[in-house]
Structure 1
Amino acid sequence: HQMMPLILAIYTGNHPFPLKEAMALAGMPVGPARPPLAPMDEGQRAAVRAALRDLGLLRA
């Protein structure tokens, strides 16, 4: 149950951008997604960041 906000933030919208963003924020950059995928918007980015922060996974 604790991971559900992160799972929902990552697997909605234009996956795999949220997953790559989460990994980068956690200190494991994997590079950008390739076209034709559109970049994620700021709302998605904020949701991923908040979920990581709430789980204590966001690097300081």
Structure 2
Amino acid sequence: LCRDEQWQLATWDIDSGLNIPGQSETEAAGSDPLASIRAVNALATPDGTAIIVLQNFHRFMQSA
């Protein structure tokens, strides 16, 4: 769907950190989901859409 709609997609996982398909590994975000959310903002364009899938994020919800 993201490819068809030309949306930018990123995924985050507690084990592997931020992953942006088609780009080299992103080390900056690591296991910090908030850093990944901030980093994905750079993917969005003024007239485009960026989506981040936060796998395992529920583990952080209990500490909020």
TM-score (norm 1): 0.30
Rg (Cα) greater in structure: 2
Greater share of residues in helix? 1
